[in-house]
Amino acid sequence: MSEEIVNLIVELNENEAIELIQAELNSGVDPFKILEKVRIAMGEIGKRYENKEYFLADLMMSGEILRHVSEILEPHLKKDTKIESISKIVLGTVEGDLHDIGKNIVKFMLETNGFEVHDLGIDVPSEKFIEKAKEINPDIIALSGFLTLAYDSMKKTVEAINNAGLRDKTKIMIGGGQIDDSIKEYVGADAYGKDALEAVALARKWAGVA
């Protein structure tokens, strides 16, 4: 598949990107392959923001592109097999981090797979995760963060979950940035997902869905 989708999204050429994605779908390209290209593009946009090549307005534009792409891809990504007993997930970008592109992709993918996602947004303090967890009794809490400073916030949130007596009732996954096994161990999470597809695979495994 052409790298053109990646380039168009990274350069924020919304109309051309949407037209190409629609054409790829019409020609029978696997929508999950298209989604992977979108993920790569959003990752590059995040790096440009980190390097001060892109600014807040660019991030907002990329978020709008993602919203339109999601609307196009969603009907093609829905699964025939839904999770019968809906699994609840609390999702949010942890305190100190304002990135939500990756989080939004994960939310989109989880919802298309039948999960009930409660998105708390960005810059979410540990207290807010606890408050929501006590309210809805989620099966999974998903912590997102792109910046390295997010790791300490994730650790603080996991510790708060432990202290609130919720740890034995829920699984915790983390994702975003350069997260790996060492960060998972530092934070105290159950697992990490390197991308949206892996996050869905983890959630489905924990929900008992093959």
Q: What is the CATH number of the domain that holds 180?
A: 3.40.50.280
**pLDDT for the residue numbered 102:** 79
Rounded Cα–Cα distance for residues 169 and 14 (Å)? 42
The CATH number covering residue 70 comes to: 1.10.1240.10
Among 77, 100, 118, identify where a domain stops. Answer: 77
pLDDT value, residue 208: 85
CA-CA distance, 181 to 129, in Å (whole number)? 23
Same domain as 197, residue 150:
yes
Burial degree of 82 (CB within 10 A; 0-12, 13-18, 19+)? exposed
- Does pTM surpass 0.75? no
- Whether residue 2 is predicted with pLDDT greater than 80 in this model: the reply is no
Average the pLDDT over each of 6-15, 134-143, 175-184 and give the range with the smallest value: 175-184
Backbone angles phi, psi at 143, to 5 degrees: -105, 125
pLDDT tens sequence across 41-77? 877 887 787 788 988 788 778 878 888 888 888 788 7
Looking at the structure of the chain, the number of domains it has is 2
Q: Does residue 82 form part of some domain?
A: no
Q: Which of 57, 77, 97 is the last residue of a domain?
A: 77
In this structure, are 31 and 95 located in the same domain? Answer: no
Which single residue is written with the structure tokens 């207290």?
127
DSSP 147-194: STTHHHHHHHHHHHHHHTT-GGG-EEEEESTT--HHHHHHHT-SEEES
Domain boundary among 26, 44, 77: 77
Q: Is the pLDDT of residue 158 over 90?
A: yes
pLDDT at 79: 53
Res 183 pLDDT > 80: yes
Same domain? For 136 and 105 the reply is: yes
Statement to judge: residues 71 and 34 lie in one domain: yes
Stretch 96-121: mean pLDDT? 86
What pLDDT was estimated at residue 56?
76
Task: Give the model's confidence band at 10: pLDDT under 50 very low, under 70 low, under 90 confident, else very high.
Answer: very high
Distance CA 87, CA 45 (A): 31
Distance, in Å, from the CA atom of 54 to the CA atom of 44, rounded to the nearest integer, reads: 10
Domain of residue 176: give its range: 88-206
Give the mean pLDDT of the chain. Answer: 87
Looking at residue 157, its pLDDT comes to 98
pLDDT more than 70, % of the chain: 94
- Which pLDDT score, from 0 to 100, does residue 100 have? 81
